[in-house]
Amino acid sequence: MILTVEIEHRYRTGGISVAFQAPSPGVTALFGPSGAGKTTVMNAIAGLLHPKHIRVELNGLALHKIPTARRRIGYVFQEGRLFPHLNVLRNLQYGFTRAPHGPIGRDDVISLLGLAPLLARWPHTLSGGERQRVAIGRALLSQPRLLLMDEPLSALDQARRDEILPYLARLRTAFELPIVYASHALDEVMRLADTLVLLEAGRQRATGKLTELVARVDLPLAARPDAAGVLRGKIYTHAPDRGLTCIACGADILWVPMVAAMEGTDVRLRVSAREVILALYEPRAISVTNVVGASVCALAALENEHAVLVELDLDGGGQLLSRVTLDAASRLDLRVGMKLLALIKAVAVELQPE
């Protein structure tokens, strides 16, 4: 099952050209700064814009040949766009009543998004976060073949974003639905995406698995202050006597402070590039819990910041990113292909269920 998108479009100030394939179901993030062309791509997929060339295929179905109103692509807009003359329930019903009978049930959506207390309310009385939840529910209930989300959190403050992110994470797994998610916030993308499409001024800079692209030192992501590596794993076991949870990431084992989750749960781990210590020999009598073997895959120096970015291939299969000083890099004599140890503090691992 695969989603194929090809779009080429020109307008007065420039143009846009993207082509990517992503596994379906799964979350594909269009990541780039404002003006990179994310909304143009979304509008073209939805059929609200007709570019020079377009091909959108989902499991062999040519969506771009279907008229917009019958294309059944759910679209969650940045500003919600709830209908002001309909209450929340009737907003939710709008797409539902117009769609053929489908697998996404009204009660499931209402409970997944916590909409029950809002049903009788009017859009103008909702908070920004509530409004976006209703907009998501409305799009889901139209039984979409594909869900587009255009910066659904960008109009919200941090507290509201934290309120909605768990709902979005649940959405990934609750419905077997391919999602295209546009954002300029790296933390959202690292929490949600499976596939990453990097956009820069209408050009597609790179496309690939999120876990691989975030560690690539030749891409602008790695130089950001919030750069991090992402690993995917499974909860292997808990060690209550040590207060730790053991996670299997490929063939590697990582310990994190104990979490309340079932063994076998799929999880996503995020390790900031600044928190990955490099060592040539196994340290002794050190507080760091995790010591994993790795090899240097690529290096990039940030001369202005006197820092070096190190792309690491873990022996167990994952990729991590380490940011060290220029001085440290020269003391260790870091070179591509070199075997070393990555030290990761248990408390520095940010864990979230898939």
Partner 1 sequence: MGSLVNTISPDEQEAILLTLGVSLRAVGVGLPLALLAATLLSRAFPGRFVLHAFVHLPLMLPPVVTGWLLLLVFGVNGPVGALLERWLHLRLVFTEAGAALACGVMIFPIMVRSIRLSLDAIDQKLLQAARTLGAGAFDRFLSITLPLAAPGVLAAAVLGFTASIGEFGAVITFAASIPGQTQTLPLAIYAALETPGGEAVAARLSIVSIFLAVAGLGIAELLATRTNRGKTR
Minimum CB distance to partner 1 smaller for 82 or for 269:
82
Nearest approach, Cβ of residue 18 and partner 1 (Å)? 20
Query: For 69, which DSSP code?
Result: G
CB of 144 to partner 1, least distance (A): 9
CB of 64 to partner 1, least distance (A): 14
- Residue 69 or 116: the one with the smaller Cβ distance to partner 1 is 69
Does residue 103 interact with partner 1 by CB under 8 A? no
The smaller minimum CB distance to partner 1, of residues 105 and 166, is found at 105
Interaction between residue 39 and partner 1 (CB under 8 A): no
Exactly one of 16, 82, 231, 324 binds partner 1 (CB under 8 A); that residue is 82
Query: Among all chains, which residue has been given the structure tokens 């570019």?
Result: 51
Beta-carbon neighbour count of residue 83 at 10 Å?
Answer: 11
Q: Quick one: 37 or 74, whose CB is closer to partner 1?
A: 74
Residue 236: DSSP 8-state: E
In the numeric block, which tokens belong to residue 108?
């499931």
Residue numbers 113-142 binding partner 1 by CB under 8 A = 122-124, 131, 138-139, 142
Q: How far apart are CA 154 and CA 79, in angstroms?
A: 9
DSSP, collapsed to helix, strand or coil, labels residue 108 as helix
Retrieve residue 85's tokens.
Answer: 């003359």
Cis, peptide link before residue 67, omega less than 30° from 0: no
Residue numbers 43-62 binding partner 1 by CB under 8 A:
46-48
Closest CB to partner 1 among 3 and 82?
A: 82
Q: How many CB atoms within 10 Å of residue 36?
A: 22
User: What is the DSSP code string of 288-332?
Assistant: --EEEEEEEEEEEEEGGGTEEEEEEEETTS-EEEEEEEHHHHHHH
Considering CB under 8 A, how many residues would be counted as binding partner 1?
30
Residues lying near partner 1 in the complex (CB under 8 A): 46-48, 68-75, 77, 79-85, 94-95, 98-99, 122-124, 131, 138-139, 142
